[in-house]
Structure 1
């Protein structure tokens, strides 16, 4: 992969993460513990951002623990149930660590690395690492948009579009 392509991928992926961070940062502290849907989406995207940056694939884990449930919760997000409501600061610190991990991976991977298959431990997902980056970026963008929608609903405002990573 050309260095300019690596740089472009980072700028866009980093911009997606920045939009996510901006949305979480803008959410009022008093609503964080009341309107739990915002927290659950924030937690979910943090878990999977980190998970899809784990190359090669490893079992799902997180620095902010969760329990796997066989039942889909009422909010319908997924079967990952955080062990508690973590603070915004904890989620944001985790996202900053994942942002650095993403940056370092993209800028230091070789052509061979990008073309290696990423095989999820349970075998449900198999794709080249480059495609995994795109998949992960789309997932972050999807949930950043959801969080911005909730921000507009709950506060009447949301952060602006981020053109590229800072």
Structure 2
């Protein structure tokens, strides 16, 4: 079981590290100018937190949001942040989710991984182990989007992360 936990963490943590590297690399002036980068960063941070809440709970965040049909021009979903939070705030939020994911992975039993995670607001149901894979894929998807935006906006992006930083 330990090898599976280590492998899961190495890849999930690497995805989070790639996300962190992309956000850290984005120029401060563009953060407030080209808000799409911010909206994606916020979205992935809030769902990293949400998908590491076991058992499932109502969607919430220490960086408040409003559910709205009035999505901002650069927004990506109906979760509209109440402010344009700083990069430091988003990075701290992601670090909190990273810490929780690592702690969960290494403290779970086989039974814990097999327990069903049941989303409160929808019909999404999956074993906790699959939830970690789902979350990993979600983080990596958005890290790739942010890296593409970095290349477009600055001509550069951080390198691939092979394994989680300790």
Same-fold call, TM > 0.5? Answer: yes
Q: Secondary structure at the match of 1:33?
A: helix
Larger mean CA deviation between 123-132 and 108-117 belongs to: 123-132
| Residue 77 of structure 1: how far off its partner (Å) | 1.2
Q: Which residue of 2 aligns with 1:23?
A: 22
CA distance in 2, matches of 1:9, 1:107: 10
Larger mean CA deviation between 115-124 and 129-138 belongs to: 115-124
CA distance in 1, matches of 2:75, 2:63: 20
CA distance in 2, matches of 1:40, 1:83: 11
Q: Which residue of 2 aligns with 1:12?
A: 11
User: Does the 8 Å contact 1:73/1:79 carry over to 2?
Assistant: no
CA distance in 2, matches of 1:73, 1:82: 10
User: Does the 8 Å contact 1:52/1:132 carry over to 2?
Assistant: yes
Pairing 1:135–2:134 present? yes
User: Does the 8 Å contact 2:71/2:80 carry over to 1?
Assistant: no
Moved over 6 A (4+): none
Q: Which residue of 2 aligns with 1:75?
A: 74
Unpaired stretches in structure 2, ≥5 consecutive residues: none
CA distance in 2, matches of 1:142, 1:124: 22
Q: Secondary structure at the match of 1:157?
A: coil
CA distance in 2, matches of 1:53, 1:59: 12
Q: Secondary structure at the match of 2:162?
A: coil
Q: Which residue of 1 aligns with 2:95?
A: 96
CA distance in 2, matches of 1:4, 1:109: 13
Tell me the TM-score normalised to structure 1 length.
0.97
Unpaired stretches in structure 1, ≥5 consecutive residues: none
The alpha-carbon distance between structure 1 residues 124 and 73, as it changes in their structure 2 partners (threshold 3 A), is: farther
Tell me the TM-score normalised to structure 2 length.
0.97
